[in-house]
Structure formats: structure tokens, C-alpha cells
């Protein structure tokens, strides 16, 4: 995956509403449902603007869910869907897939990694930041490939 593709994905994601996120630890895939504005959507002003950001294979995941600015809330991978749902379409800000942030330090809500002998899934690091009325979520995941997919599952390529 080229840096140009990652830059293009971040352009699409900047200002997009985040409607959900799910991490499949068996297949090491993070799927994030987003809805970019009509002006940022690769297909223009379509009826269903939802897209799926797919990061794979993922190797490390860290998250911090902060309540009222100071209390770190714990949650499990299975609860990630519900946690993101509580943000009710919070807007993403780029960089996301080009963020390449260092590992998160301090108290975490969630942390996990593939086995030590697994060498893939570590090329890049993405970071999603969601803010709500009284909570913030920072989710960092390492990955090798990033894709945007339409609701029908087809992959969207950057413009030539």
C-alpha cells in the first residue's frame, strides 16, 4: 500500500462521522463504519454515503476511554462496538491511517497484541480519536493494509 493511498484515505476520513468499529481478533481485522460528507465521498453525492475502513492484518491494539476528563474506563474487544456506538457519529479528524503515533503509554482501557512470533501487521499505526459530551476515545492499532469499501463490499481505489 502506497503512501499516496493512505493520504487519500485520510482525505476521505477527515470530517467523516464514525458510526461503528469492530475488531475481529481471529482474522486480525479492524472495520470502522464511516460516513464522509458528499463533497469528500469518492463516489460523490450518493444515496448511501457509508463506507467501511478496513485495516488488516492488525497486530497491536490499544485504547483509552476517558470519562469526565480523568477516569479511564475499562472495556473488552467485544464491547468496542457498544463503546463506539455511544459516540453517536462523532466526527473523525485526519490523520487517521497516516497518523503513525508511538505506542500509547499510561493507563489503558484495552490493550492486546498478536503473538510475539507474528511479524506482520506492524508496518503502520492508525489512530482514531472520538469525542463526545463527557467521554473521549483514543484507539490505536497497527496494520499493514488499509482499504475503503462501499456498503456492497466493493473496494474503492484512489483516483488515478
Q: What is the DSSP string of 105-137?
A: -S--SEEEE--TT--SS-SEEEEEEEE-SSEEE
156 part of a folded domain: no
Q: What is the pTM of this model?
A: 0.95
- Going by pLDDT thresholds of 50, 70 and 90, the confidence category of residue 159 is confident
Residue 142 lies in a domain: yes
**The total number of structural domains that make up the chain:** 1
**What average pLDDT does this structure show over 82-111?**
96
* Res. 111 pLDDT band, cuts 50 70 90: very high
**Is 159 within the bounds of a domain?**
no
pLDDT above 80: residue 101: yes
pLDDT tens-place string over residues 29-66: 999 999 999 999 999 989 999 999 999 999 999 999 99
Residue 158 lies in a domain: no
- What average pLDDT is seen over the chain? 95
Query: Is 92 inside any structural domain?
Result: yes
| Structural domain contains residue 58 | yes
Q: In the predicted model, what is the mean pLDDT of residues 142-159?
A: 95
Name the nearest CA neighbour of 53 among 96, 15, 82.
96
Instruction: Mark 25-44 as b/e (b = at least 16 C-beta within 10 Å).
Output: eeebbbbbbbbbeeeebbee
CB atoms within 10 A of CB 54: 17
Is it true that the peptide bond before 110 is cis, omega within 30 degrees of 0? no
- 33 occurs within a structural domain: yes
pLDDT at 68: 87
Question: Are 157 and 13 in contact, with CB atoms under 8 Å apart?
Answer: no
The conformation of residue 153, written as its DSSP 8-state character, comes to S
**How confident is the model at residue 156, as a pLDDT?**
95
Question: What b/e sequence results for 1-19 when a residue is b if at least 16 CB atoms lie within 10 Å of its CB, and e otherwise?
Answer: eeeebbebbbebbbebbbb
Task: Dig out the grid coordinates for 129 from the structure.
Answer: 480519536
Within a domain: residue 160? Answer: no
Quote the domain boundaries for residue 135: 3-151
Q: What is d(CA 39, CA 41) in angstroms, rounded to the nearest whole number? A: 6
Report the pLDDT value the prediction gives residue 35, as an integer from 0 to 100. Answer: 98
Amino acid at each position: 500500500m502506497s503512501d499516496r493511498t493512505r493520504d487519500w484515505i485520510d482525505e476521505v476520513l477527515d470530517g467523516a462521522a464514525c458510526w461503528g468499529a469492530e475488531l475481529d481478533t481471529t482474522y486480525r481485522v479492524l472495520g470502522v463504519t464511516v460516513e464522509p460528507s458528499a463533497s469528500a465521498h469518492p463516489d460523490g453525492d450518493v444515496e448511501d454515503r457509508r463506507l467501511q475502513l478496513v485495516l488488516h492484518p492488525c497486530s497491536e491494539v490499544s485504547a483509552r476511554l476517558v470519562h469526565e476528563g480523568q477516569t479511564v474506563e475499562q472495556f473488552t474487544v467485544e464491547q468496542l462496538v457498544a463503546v463506539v456506538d455511544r459516540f453517536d457519529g462523532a466526527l473523525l479528524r485526519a490523520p487517521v491511517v497516516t497518523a503513525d503515533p508511538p505506542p500509547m503509554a499510561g493507563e489503558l482501557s484495552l490493550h492486546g497484541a498478536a503473538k510475539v512470533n507474528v511479524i506482520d501487521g506492524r508496518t503502520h499505526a492508525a489512530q482514531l480519536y472520538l469525542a463526545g459530551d463527557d467521554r473521549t476515545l483514543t484507539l490505536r492499532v497497527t496494520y499493514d493494509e488499509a482499504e475503503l469499501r462501499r456498503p456492497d463490499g466493493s473496494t474503492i481505489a484512489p483516483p488515478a
